[in-house]
Amino acid sequence: MGSNILSLISFVSGTCLIHTHTLTHLFIFIVFSNMLGLLPLSFTTTSHIAVTGVLALLVFVFVTVLGFVKNGSKFLALFWVSSAPMAVRPLLAVIELISYFVRPVSHSIRLAGNMMAGHAVIKVFAGFAAIAAISPISVVAITAMYGLEILVAFIQAYVFTILTCVYLKDALHPAH
């Protein structure tokens, strides 16, 4: 299984796996934060936008600094689409720049929103458990949602880590 993860990171990031430990720690942190929220009377830290925002900003700053350190001013080629016609390039550069700075926002909202949504659905089903006629159905639904929440905890950590790999690939190989 470990070699599958390494080959996936290598394929997505296109690098020599120098950042595997950082990515692995990021994945494990997010999985444990997500799973912690499934324990009764606990809080999912990754459902709070401040936590996911800081994680996304750390990734953003790390990737941007790494891009400039490795490539210097050639990192800015990430924003210049050289294959486009010259008349369209300035407009595409603005669009690329905006999309680059929106990455941490989408990165953090995706994780926080998905973790919050599952917990909200579980609370709705728990509210129906008080009604005697439908409480058995509600208990089955809550159990099924917990199973889905475990799956979502891993999938969201995976998505966050893979997107970080994609951002690393962009930073290390900025040319379009």
Domain borders along the chain are 2-172
Query: By mean pLDDT, which of 5-9, 29-33, 107-111, 155-159 is the weakest?
Result: 5-9
What pLDDT shows up at residue 89? Answer: 87
What b-and-e string marks burial along 60-92, b requiring 16 or more CB atoms within 10 Å of the CB? bebbbebbeeebeeebeebbbbeeeeeeebeeb
Q: Which tens digits make up the pLDDT trace of 6-46?
A: 666 666 655 546 778 888 889 999 999 999 988 888 888 99
Nearest to 25 by CA among 113, 157, 114, 116: 157
Alpha-carbon torsion (116, 123, 38, 51), positive or negative = positive
Report in angstroms the alpha-carbon separations of 5 from 43, 57, 120, 167: 29, 24, 32, 17
Read off the DSSP letter of residue 85: -
